[in-house]
Amino acid sequence: MKILDHYEQAPGQSFEGDAVKGVVGRVVIGKNDGADNFCMRIFTLSPGGNTPRHAHQWEHEIFIHEGKGKLLNDGQWAAIQRGSVIFIPGMEEHQLKNDSDQDLVFACLIPKGVAEL
């Protein structure tokens, strides 16, 4: 069993580039913890930040923990906020953007066998 008092206890990895801005990712539960089926990651998007626009074979599930922003959904931008729950099927293009003045924090679950970050 693993218990973190706060997700920020997990080491953060910053992402910056042409397609990604202001993103910190943390693996809070993963293969190093003995998780055989899923990986839980926590991402923080700073104000004005965004994940890359992308698609991949696996599904994933997202829970918005804090803040608000937008999600690219079927070519349209949908508002997301604290408490929003999102299911993204495999091969569906998606992107998250923080268009607010506060951090956007979300949990993201992915299956085993893919890169954890």
Mean pLDDT of 86-113: 97
Domain boundaries, given as residue ranges, for the chain: 10-16+25-46+101-117
What CA–CA distance (Å, rounded) separates 61 from 101? 25
The strand pairing partners of 85, in sequence order, are 63
Per-residue pLDDT, 74 = 86
Q: Which amino acid is at 55?
A: A
Per-residue pLDDT, 102 = 98
DSSP string of 24-92?
Answer: EEEEEE-GGGT-SSEEEEEEEEEEEEEPPPB--SS-EEEEEEE-EEEEEETTEEEEEETT-EEEE-TT-
Report pTM. Answer: 0.96
Per-residue pLDDT, 71 = 98
Mean pLDDT of 15-32: 97
pLDDT in tens, 42-99: 999 999 999 999 999 999 999 999 999 999 988 999 999 999 999 999 999 999 999 9
Q: In percent, how much of the chain has pLDDT > 70?
A: 100
Mean pLDDT of 16-41: 97
Q: Average pLDDT of the chain?
A: 97
